[in-house]
Amino acid sequence: MQNFLLFLFYATPLGIISSVQNFFDLTLPITMPSNFSIPLGKLFDRSYDLVIQGGGLQDIFVQYINPNSQLYAGLISNVESLYNTVAAIGFALSMLFWFLALADKLTKDRLTGYELVRSFVELMIAFAFITEGFTLFTGISEFATGIYTEMSGTVTELTPLSRNYSLFFKDDEYGSAPVNSWTNDMPWDDGTVINTTNVKVHGWSGFISLLAPVIEVCFMAILVQGGCALGVAVMVSRMIQMGIYMIFSSIAIADLFHGGVMSSPGFRFLKKFFAICLQGVIIWAIMYLTTSLQNSFLAASQNAIMLVVPSLIMVALILKSQQFANDIAGV
């Protein structure tokens, strides 16, 4: 029995000691690290691209911010149907406000022929606004969209950033080509025995050097993706808010002349709706300006964190975009 075990360990090619030795000497040191380096490197590239693209928010902006987008086709049709239902309440309120205004003037001995005709004209104008209210508010929305179209067509298109590997890899080289010669198309590793100059990293030292940069850029990508989700939520909630305002606009328009047109609740409602529509243009301006900061931030400080700072600033300002719109519209 003892002789048989010795035969397995030392004599046969399939002996345990021989097999383990061959594994460590031939397989593990060279070819195995590339099995980890290559997928880690691809993960680094995808995460890096996501960070410099702001989580992809710029790419999906037009799709989510444009009221005429196919995403909102069902929403707009439902809003129009509900508006027509609520319009009857608007007509009734217009009549009520008209009678109350006449009664107030009558009790104060101010009901003259001129005031009676004027009140009747105001009532007819309110009826016309309610009748064509959906068209009116759609026109306000398209006017704001036209502002965005004009502004986006006149500015210089920003050149997207390319990967700058030296922001994450501080040494000159990692077992292969120097970092300053790395390109997007260069493979991360090739698993060869001899170090080559046509890959980014090589061997176990190259694999270990990838761990910290991958963790860092993945953390940045998670932050940026979270910000992108918040940005999309603001855009979609803006569209829903526009829909709510449009549905019940006939009730607000019913009181269009109380206290004078410019100071009436109905006119303030129109300004508020315009501010909501204008929010889309402001969000675009925020995205354009903060994206243009990335190059200058990186030029001022060669620190990888500067890749994500503009995206975080962008999300913070998008959350305040409604306040900006209210201030601009004078609401």
Residue 88 predicted with pLDDT over 80: yes
φ, ψ of residue 83 in degrees (nearest 5): -60, -45
The alpha carbons of the chain give a radius of gyration, in whole angstroms, of 33
pLDDT value of position 222: 87
Q: Which has the closest alpha carbon to 265: 116, 140, 131, 97?
A: 97
CA-to-CA dists, residue 41 to 37, 55, 75, 173, 324, angstroms: 6, 19, 43, 15, 42
- If you search the block for the tokens 């104060």, which residue do you land on? 108
Give the pTM: 0.75
* Percent of the chain with pLDDT strictly greater than 90: 10
Question: What is the torsional sign of CA 134, 137, 143, 146?
Answer: negative
What percentage of the chain has pLDDT greater than the value 70? Answer: 83
Class of residue 284 by CB neighbours under 10 A (exposed 0-12, middle 13-18, buried 19+) = buried
For 130-179, how does the pLDDT look when each residue is reduced to its tens digit (9 = 90+)? Answer: 888 889 998 998 898 888 888 877 877 766 677 888 888 888 877 778 88
- What does the DSSP 8-state code read for residue 163? P
Residue 201: beta bridge partners?
Answer: 174
pLDDT tens profile 228-287: 788 888 888 988 999 999 999 888 888 877 766 777 888 889 999 999 999 988 888 888
Q: Between 261 and 75, whose confidence is greater? A: 75
Q: For 320, which DSSP code? A: T
- Write down how long the chain is: 331
**Which comes out higher in pLDDT, residue 52 or 55?**
52
**Cα 176 to Cα 92: distance, rounded to the nearest angstrom:** 80
Average pLDDT taken over every residue of the chain? 79
